[in-house]
């Protein structure tokens, strides 16, 4: 079955750049979106449809993709960026439409 | 701005039914596809169901197909999820979410605050 794979945990020094990746066959034909979730809160989109930033999201967040891998890059990570990050995409590979989520990456800002 | 407020969650026994609602505001509800997503305790999000802007096409995860029904009332700016034959494994926070594009289903984008559902004997 289709799935999206993420590294479980990533760390970054304050002010440095970090990239979080998401891999899956669905990404070859569908855009990735990225959702930030802090403890006890609902997810918030930080990037949708590969590289679009919703209003209010700092421009240090950016998205890209190549082949079956999508990436979320945080340039100059801040303490408030510490959170779980989930990628998602539409899955049109089987005979019916669905949506997938990655297992999440826990980002620690040191 | 986009506001989505879920309601209807609660604690109930296996086999029972429950209907969740999601009140939308801050955008033209009838233009957008909508989604339900759930998140079990300590787990990542799981897609549950999606519906086109006009309600004519609906899609379900295999885990809920035949038990859950997604619907919408564009005159009331409200999305629904009718859940029946509930199982312990349906325990989760249920979120409604708006798609990023009008008139198509592409991306789960803007989320509500969620409503918790606990199924326990």
HSE of B121 in the Cβ direction (CA atoms, 13 Å)? 5
Gap between the Cα atoms of B112 and B74, Å rounded: 17
Candidates A5, A43, A46: best to mutate against B (most CBs of B within 10 A) is A43
Query: Which residues is A89 bridged to in the sheet?
Result: A32, A100
Separation of CA A15 from chain center: 19
d(CA B33, CA A18): 33
**Beta partners for residue B92, in sequence order:** B117
Residues of A in contact with B112 (CB under 8 A): 42
The whole-angstrom separation of Cα B95 and Cα B113 is 7
Burial class (CB in 10 A: 0-12, 13-18, 19+), A97: middle
Q: What DSSP state is assigned to residue A48?
A: B
Mean pLDDT by 10 residues, chain B (121 residues): 96 97 97 97 96 95 97 98 98 97 90 97 93
What is the DSSP pairing of strand B58-60 with strand B45-51?
antiparallel
User: Residue B17 gets which letter from DSSP?
Assistant: -
Beta strands at A98-101 and B78-83: parallel, antiparallel or unpaired? unpaired
A57/B contact by beta carbon, under 8 A: no
Over its length of 110 residues, how does chain A's per-residue pLDDT go in tens digits? 589 999 999 999 999 999 999 999 999 999 999 999 999 999 999 999 888 999 999 999 999 999 999 999 999 999 999 999 999 999 987 777 899 999 999 999 99
Q: Which residues of A touch B106 (CB under 8 A)?
A: 30-31, 49, 90
């Amino acid at each position: 079955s289709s799935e999206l794979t993420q590294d479980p945990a990533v760390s970054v020094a304050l002010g440095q750049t970090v990239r979080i990746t998401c891999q899956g066959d669905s990404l070859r034909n569908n855009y990735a979106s990225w959702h930030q979730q802090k403890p006890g809160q609902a997810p918030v989109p930080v990037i949708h449809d590969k590289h679009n930033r919703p209003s209010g999201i700092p421009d240090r967040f950016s998205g890209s993709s190549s082949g079956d891998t999508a990436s979320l890059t945080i340039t100059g990570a801040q303490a408030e960026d510490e959170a779980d990050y989930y990628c998602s995409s539409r899955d049109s590979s089987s005979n019916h439409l669905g949506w997938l989520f990655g297992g999440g990456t826990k980002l620690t800002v040191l | 701005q986009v506001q989505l407020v879920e309601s209807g969650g609660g604690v109930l026994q296996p086999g029972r039914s429950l209907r969740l609602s999601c009140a939308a505001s801050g955008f033209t509800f009838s233009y957008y596809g909508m989604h339900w997503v759930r998140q079990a305790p300590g787990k990542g999000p799981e897609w549950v169901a999606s519906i086109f802007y006009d309600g004519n096409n609906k899609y379900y995860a295999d885990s809920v197909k035949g038990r859950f029904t997604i619907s919408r009332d564009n005159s009331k700016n409200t999305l629904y999820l009718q859940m029946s034959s509930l199982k312990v494994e349906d325990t989760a926070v249920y979120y409604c979410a708006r798609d990023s594009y009008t008139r198509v289903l592409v991306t789960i984008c803007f989320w509500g605050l969620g409503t918790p559902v606990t199924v326990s004997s």
